[in-house]
């Protein structure tokens, strides 16, 4: 069915230069000429072919403010927004247009990356997560389809539609995508879908985001899906056990230090994963200088186009609730202190076998060291750095978050630009 072009403010956007470049469960993405900027931008609108409620508009407004608060050269920059439909235009978010497709496309068509590039690109994504977490925000949907490649080869994290506040947000809500959500999030999905008792695990954490980074790096090394399978339930059940095959078993020739970092990021117990994306970034940048410049995994397509175009859906399905549960009981593992990434890189996989002392429970009212917790109504104070605009004099004011997070279901479809 043909999709009508969005109605956008004609004084700002050229109605003759509007092209749809992507869609997801709740939104379309368009390439549009911005007259004021004199360049093309990406514009996200809601899917007006489906019934829309006030909650959809509130969530779009929330996404705009959340994404605007994160400043990093590796996060898609937000330009403007009109989160409410008016008499002359649809609700929209205008953002930086990042040009050459997603990491999901690159993996699907090209497979494995050179090992030094795995570390460099992993460091770029870790930098994006560091900026996100330092703003007091959790992304909650870290996956290749939400990572964009610029014309200059720079990676950009996109799609904050599932993001929440680290403290004071939807701490127990479910969000993410099969194949990339953490084991604790997958266990929460299994409990929900099969009517099992809640696991009691805290699922919305920095470690949940970093797990997604680890799976992305795993796939860039191997050139194959970390959790293969077309069926959504099969992948989620596999993830709920946390049994990810070691990357050294999947591919020969992976250096021990790189494999150690991937293992630390994807270990089943969330308390043993790193809790600092900035630390992961720094270790990867240093490691990249000594890694081989050739890939060791599968090169070439690793999934069919049909599979790659299939949305990663997470809504609970009635047949799942009615069907008997045959998987393992989703019990919460023992909590342990976060893994030191530098130590893992230096000592290899055997370091994960050490016994760690239990960690203290996190106090939601406390600020983690080095983090500026972003409360409702506050804006983060973070600079772009040398490669982009900063918050110095002359820079536009950062919009503030619009009060409490909207009470609507987390979007569980892929709204990225693929």
Q: Using DSSP bridges, classify how beta strands 137-138 and 155-157 pair: parallel, antiparallel or unpaired.
A: unpaired
State the DSSP H helix or E strand holding residue 67, giving kind and residue range, or none if neither: helix 54-69
Compute φ and ψ for 307, nearest 5 degrees.
-65, -45
Cα dihedral 417, 264, 234, 142, rounded to 10, equals -20
Helix (H, G, I), strand (E, B) or coil at 16: strand
Catalytic residues: 141
Count the Cβ atoms, other than its own, within 10 Å of residue 11: 8
Cβ–Cβ < 8 Å for 28, 52: no
Exposed e or buried b per residue across 201-217, where buried means at least 16 C-beta atoms within 10 angstroms of its C-beta: bbbbbbbbbbbbbbbbb
- Alpha-carbon separation of residue 19 from 30, 33, 268 (angstroms): 5, 10, 43
Give the span between the Cα atoms of 341 and 171, in whole angstroms: 26
The Cα-based distances of 6 to 14, 18, 45, 99 in angstroms read 11, 8, 7, 21
Q: Is 17 helix (H, G, I), strand (E, B) or coil?
A: strand
Q: Rounded CA gap, 48 and 308, in Å?
A: 24
- Which DSSP string do the residues of 150-213 spell out, in sequence order? -TTS-EEE---TT-EETTTS-TT-----TTTS-HHHHHHHHHHHTTPPP-----SSHHHHHHHH
How far, in Å, CA of 284 to CA of 133, rounded? 18
Strands of 13-23's sheet, edge to edge?
Answer: 13-23, 27-34, 39-46, 92-95, 78-82
Residue 99's Cβ-count burial label (10 Å; 0-12, 13-18, 19+) is middle
CA distance 129 to 122: 11
C-alpha to C-alpha distances, 300 to 103, 107, 111, 113, 118, nearest whole angstrom: 14, 8, 5, 10, 16
State the Cα torsion 405-408-414-416 to the nearest 10°. Answer: -40
């Amino acid at each position: 069915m043909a999709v009508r072009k969005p109605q956008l403010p004609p004084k700002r956007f050229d109605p003759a230069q509007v092209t749809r470049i992507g869609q997801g469960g709740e939104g379309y993405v368009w390439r549009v000429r911005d007259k004021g900027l004199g360049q093309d931008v990406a514009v996200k609108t809601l899917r007006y072919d489906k019934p829309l409620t006030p909650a959809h508009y509130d969530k779009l407004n929330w996404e705009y403010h959340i994404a605007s608060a994160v400043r990093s050269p590796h996060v898609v920059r937000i330009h403007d927004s009109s989160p409410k439909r008016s008499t002359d235009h649809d609700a929209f978010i205008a953002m930086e247009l990042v040009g050459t497709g997603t990491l999901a496309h690159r993996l699907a068509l090209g497979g494995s990356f050179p090992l030094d590039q795995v570390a460099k690109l992993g460091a770029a994504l870790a930098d994006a997560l560091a900026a996100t977490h330092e703003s007091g925000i959790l992304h909650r949907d870290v996956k290749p389809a939400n990572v964009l490649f610029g014309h200059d080869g720079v990676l950009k994290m996109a799609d904050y539609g599932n993001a929440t506040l680290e403290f004071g947000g939807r701490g127990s809500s479910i969000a993410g995508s099969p194949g990339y959500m953490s084991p604790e999030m997958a266990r929460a999905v299994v409990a929900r879908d099969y009517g099992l008792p809640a696991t009691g695990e805290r699922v919305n954490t920095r470690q949940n985001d970093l797990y997604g980074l680890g799976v992305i790096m795993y796939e860039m090394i191997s050139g194959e899906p970390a959790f293969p399978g077309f069926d959504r339930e099969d992948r989620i059940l596999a993830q709920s056990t946390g049994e990810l095959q070691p990357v050294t078993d999947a591919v020969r020739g992976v250096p021990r230090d790189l494999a150690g970092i991937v293992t630390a990021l994807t270990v089943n117990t969330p308390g043993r994963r790193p809790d600092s994306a900035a630390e992961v970034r720094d270790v990867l940048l240093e490691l990249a200088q000594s890694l081989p410049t050739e890939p060791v995994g599968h090169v070439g397509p690793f999934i069919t186009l049909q599979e790659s175009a299939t949305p990663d859906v997470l809504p609970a399905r009635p047949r799942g609730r009615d069907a008997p549960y045959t998987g393992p009981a989703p019990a919460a593992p023992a909590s342990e202190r976060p893994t030191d990434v530098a130590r893992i890189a230096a000592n290899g996989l055997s370091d994960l076998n050490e016994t760690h002392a239990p960690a203290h429970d996190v106090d939601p009212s406390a600020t983690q060291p080095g983090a500026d917790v972003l409360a409702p109504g506050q804006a983060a104070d973070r600079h772009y750095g040398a490669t982009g605009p900063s918050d110095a004099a002359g820079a536009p004011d950062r919009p503030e978050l619009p009060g409490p997070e909207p009470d609507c279901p987390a979007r569980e479809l892929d709204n990225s630009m693929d």
